[in-house]
Amino acid sequence: MLSAAEKKMIRTLHRKSERQERRLFLVEGPTLVREALDAGWAFERVVATAGWPVPPALASACVTVSQDELGAVSAMEAPNQVLAAVRMPDEAPPPQPSGLVLCLDDVQDPGNLGTILRSAAWFGVERVVCSPDCVERFNPKVVQASMGAVFRVPVHVVPLPAYLGNLPTSTAVAGAVLDGANVYTVDHPEPAVLVLGNEARGLSAGVMARIRTPVTIPRLGSGESLNVAMAATVLCSVWREEPLRGPSVARL
Amino acid sequence: MLSAAEKKMIRTLHRKSERQERRLFLVEGPTLVREALDAGWAFERVVATAGWPVPPALASACVTVSQDELGAVSAMEAPNQVLAAVRMPDEAPPPQPSGLVLCLDDVQDPGNLGTILRSAAWFGVERVVCSPDCVERFNPKVVQASMGAVFRVPVHVVPLPAYLGNLPTSTAVAGAVLDGANVYTVDHPEPAVLVLGNEARGLSAGVMARIRTPVTIPRLGSGESLNVAMAATVLCSVWREEPLRGPSVARL
């Protein structure tokens, strides 16, 4: 059973300001909890219903509750067996890119960020660098949509104009824009930083000024626009086509 | 002002069974209503707040309501100026493919189907063929996530084993699976049907038996899986790389 104080503490983690203040965030459901554990994240508290098989490493942090108690602290519509308060890692500045980096300028939708992290993990993106006005990666909907990729892909939050402006000249800086070069036909060197903008407004002026190669995914049909997560995924696929053609772990 | 009977009728369209019975579905917000109008769909009723500029073609179908009244019939959390009951088109069997067709086997998430339609419109997919157990394309969340692509990409709902089994031998039938050929290195002929399966279970046995070219998007990183909408988008991008490299309308 949870104390009233603990209930209250966990419920405060539904809010970004409290998550950032406490440096804790919520991870829900057996699959995501397992992913966080396997990836070595630190657990502050684990709240589970009786049926959940508690991994030995989490036994001391775990308290057993009723389904109603779990529902009372969960951020999900259908709480699923277990919820954990997990510690955020220390913030570190992003190192210079050695492979492929995704950079997100004011991406707002939690589902989009979660899906971008998932694709980033798939295509071997080394890290994701977010502008401070992006949706928070520890938002419960981002964590959920990432299917655990949030635990595996390093994410940094830094002002993008300074980050992009300080990249070595040997690093490609490609930005997704409306009237750039055809991304399928430009060269795809690495290290490279691929930059995507806000769902409605695209890249901000300060970021646009740092783009060295503006690129566009050409349109063959009648579509109005591509979802930013789709655009990010296509850019990764196109940029990495050469290694993707080689021998590699294959699974859809 | 709306009559009680009309209010009730519109609210029934939140449910799939009533939508299918009445052959009507909901379209919400100025952008989507404009898209449906431009694409020539038939409007049964339009409900708008006073600030919305009524297009002449919709004047006779339009009734002005208060924000509260709009909220009472809307399926959205934040109703936006206008809602329309739009007529579903007659069902027609899909013709033989001439270009690229996407085929969806039991795709359940409305956001995924909407996003797939949006990518299909972008990459010039000629139609989308859904199994009868897919989420309904007229689900309000699908319509919303499609950003209007639902009005431009023809969609058919038919049992897939029969559809796939009756395709000419000259049509490529590629299915996304875990252990197929590398999709980047196989040939990409057209006409082609690209088949994607359920979010958790992949392709059903009856569909799998009709796949002529099992394909896989290889993995370069640590990702657990790709979202089905991401996979569909990558398959379109890869299959159409040759035309995408040519001159084409370019916009992201």
Q: Per-residue pLDDT tens for A202-250?
A: 999 999 999 999 999 999 988 888 999 999 999 999 999 999 998 655 4
Q: Which structure tokens are listed for B155?
A: 């969609």
> How does residue A251 score in pLDDT terms, banded at 50, 70 and 90?
very low
pLDDT 10s digits, B31-44: 999 999 999 999 99
Q: Identify which of A70, A32, A76, A34 has the alpha carbon closest to the alpha carbon of residue A50.
A: A70
What pLDDT does B250 receive? 46
pLDDT for residue B212 is more than 50: yes
Q: Is A176 left (phi over 0), alpha (psi -120 to 50) or beta?
A: beta
pLDDT 10s digits, A151-162: 999 999 999 999
What pLDDT does B247 receive? 66
Partners of A230 on chain B (C-beta within 8 Å) are 115, 118-119, 122, 229-230, 233
Q: Which structure tokens are listed for B213?
A: 């070219």
Calculate the average pLDDT of chain B.
94
Q: What is the pTM of this model?
A: 0.93
pLDDT for residue A177 is more than 80: yes
Contact by Cβ (8 Å): B70, B33: no
CB nearest to A220's CB, from B184, B238, B243: B243
Task: Give the domains, in start order, of chain A with CATH numbers.
Answer: 4-87 (3.30.1330.30), 100-245 (3.40.1280.10)
Does the beta carbon of A129 lie under 8 angstroms from any beta carbon of chain B?
Answer: no
What pLDDT does B22 receive? 96
> How does residue B83 score in pLDDT terms, banded at 50, 70 and 90?
very high
Q: Which structure tokens are listed for A117?
A: 């992290």
Does the beta carbon of B248 lie under 8 angstroms from any beta carbon of chain A?
Answer: yes
User: Where are the extended beta strands (E) located within A141-248?
Assistant: 155-157, 172-182, 192-196, 213-216, 218-219
Site from A195, A196, A220 to mutate, B interface, most B CB atoms within 10 angstroms: A220
- Minimal CA separation from A186 to chain B, in Å: 10
CB nearest to B182's CB, from A119, A224, A250: A250
Q: Which structure tokens are listed for B30?
A: 């100025």
CB proximity list for B200: less than 8 A, separation 6 or greater: none
Partners of B229 on chain A (C-beta within 8 Å) are 115, 230
Integer distance in angstroms from the first to the last C-alpha of chain A? 41
What strands lie across the sheet with B62-65, from one edge to the other? B24-28, B82-87, B43-49, B62-65
> How does residue B221 score in pLDDT terms, banded at 50, 70 and 90?
confident
pLDDT for residue B135 is more than 90: yes
What pLDDT does A250 receive? 46
Q: Identify which of A198, A229, A195, A192 has the alpha carbon closest to the alpha carbon of residue A214.
A: A195
What pLDDT does A247 receive? 66
Contact by Cβ (8 Å): B1, B65: yes
CA distances from A121 to A114, A143, B200, B218, B225 (A): 11, 14, 18, 12, 9
pLDDT for residue A56 is more than 80: yes
Calculate the average pLDDT of chain A.
94
